[in-house]
Amino acid sequence: MTDTSSVLITGASSGIGATYAERFARRGHDLVLVARDKARLNALSARLRDETGVAVEIVVADLTDPDDLGLVAKRVSDDRKIGVLVNNAGAGLAGAFERQAIADVERLVSLNTTALLRLSHAAAGNFVAAGQGTIVNISSVVGLVPEFGQSVYGATKAFVLYLSQGLALELGPKGVYVQAVLPAATRTEIWERSGADPEKVPPLMDVGELVDAALVGFDRREPITIPALHEGAHWDAYQAARLVMIQGFGQTQPAERYRIAG
Ligand SMILES: NC(=O)c1ccc[n+]([C@@H]2O[C@H](COP(=O)([O-])OP(=O)(O)OC[C@H]3O[C@@H](n4cnc5c(N)ncnc54)[C@H](OP(=O)(O)O)[C@@H]3O)[C@@H](O)[C@H]2O)c1
């Protein structure tokens, strides 16, 4: 990232996205803030302009709307000043899978995966051509834990993690840094918005501490940042186990345990 690059943040009207906006503004970056709530974006942009002197533009868009998403993607690909894309907009969905309305499920998948994919693709073209640029994708530890019982939300976050890992390998050698951030439970509006039972909300990390930790990983150019994971060696062991397994995928014969006796 050059010092003059601007940062486009989706879901910047509250929570993690608004906190990223503040932190990048304090680092001196101009901002493009995307979300649906115009009044909140206006209030945040006015405050950040006053407090930091950076230029802040807002783009009011519903990223589940194909036309709005197309306009934001066009903005990402047309604006060569954007050097950092933070794909943060996302939502959760409470309730048992069979009782979730399919329209809500599809909207969640569209926001958490399709929008992020489309904007990453729009940014990648410019970033590869420039030989630099950064994509930050907000995943979740839920993407690693089907046991949490949030199957659709977790699946979208597993998609984000996988895509980020793949893009880090593909785009890294072309000068593009891709970071997946996996927050654990963090104090934002997402719990209320997703219809979570207040009695079942776990202990929450402060959103400022979460984003500051994610930015430590960003400054170190970490591909995966999991602020709540105190034992970093556990992630390394998980990765090592996966890499060992890869060697077994090149077999042309089924494993012994799947052979029919006889
Ligand atoms: N908080 C946690 O515990 C936690 C843990 C792991 C991962 N995460 C992830 O962190 C990210 C940010 O969530 P948060 O916790 O900061 O929640 P949040 O405060 O509810 O923020 C969500 C942001 O996304 C925007 N958004 C929602 N639907 C949108 C749409 N259709 N189009 C455009 N923007 C939309 C919201 O703005 P508008 O309503 O103005 O559109 C808001 O700015 C999400 O991807 C979430 O999955 C959160």
pLDDT tens track, the chain, 262 positions: 446 799 999 999 999 999 999 999 999 999 999 999 999 999 999 999 999 999 999 999 999 999 999 999 999 999 999 999 999 999 999 999 999 999 999 999 999 999 999 999 999 999 999 999 999 999 999 999 999 999 999 999 999 999 999 999 999 999 999 999 999 999 999 999 999 988 989 999 999 999 999 999 999 999 999 999 999 999 999 999 999 999 899 999 999 999 998 7
pLDDT of residue 1: 47
pLDDT for residue 3: 67
Ligand 1 centroid distance, CA of 84 (Å) = 18
For the CA of 89, the closest atom of ligand 1 is 24
DSSP state of 187: S
Give the per-residue pLDDT at 258: 96
Burial class of residue 47, CB neighbours in 10 A (0-12, 13-18, 19+): middle
Pocket test for ligand 1, best of 38, 153, 188, 200 (most atoms within 8 A of CB): 188
Residues paired with residue 35 on neighbouring β-strands, in sequence order = 60
3-class secondary-structure state, position 138:
strand
Domains of the chain and CATH, by start: 6-232 (3.40.50.720)
Amino acid at 135: I
State which ligand 1 atom lies nearest to the alpha carbon of 183. 6
Q: Is the dihedral of CA 11, 15, 16, 20 positive or negative?
A: positive
> How many angstroms is it from 184 CA to the middle of ligand 1?
14
For the sheet with 82-87, list strands across it.
Answer: 56-60, 31-35, 6-10, 82-87, 133-138, 176-181, 224-225
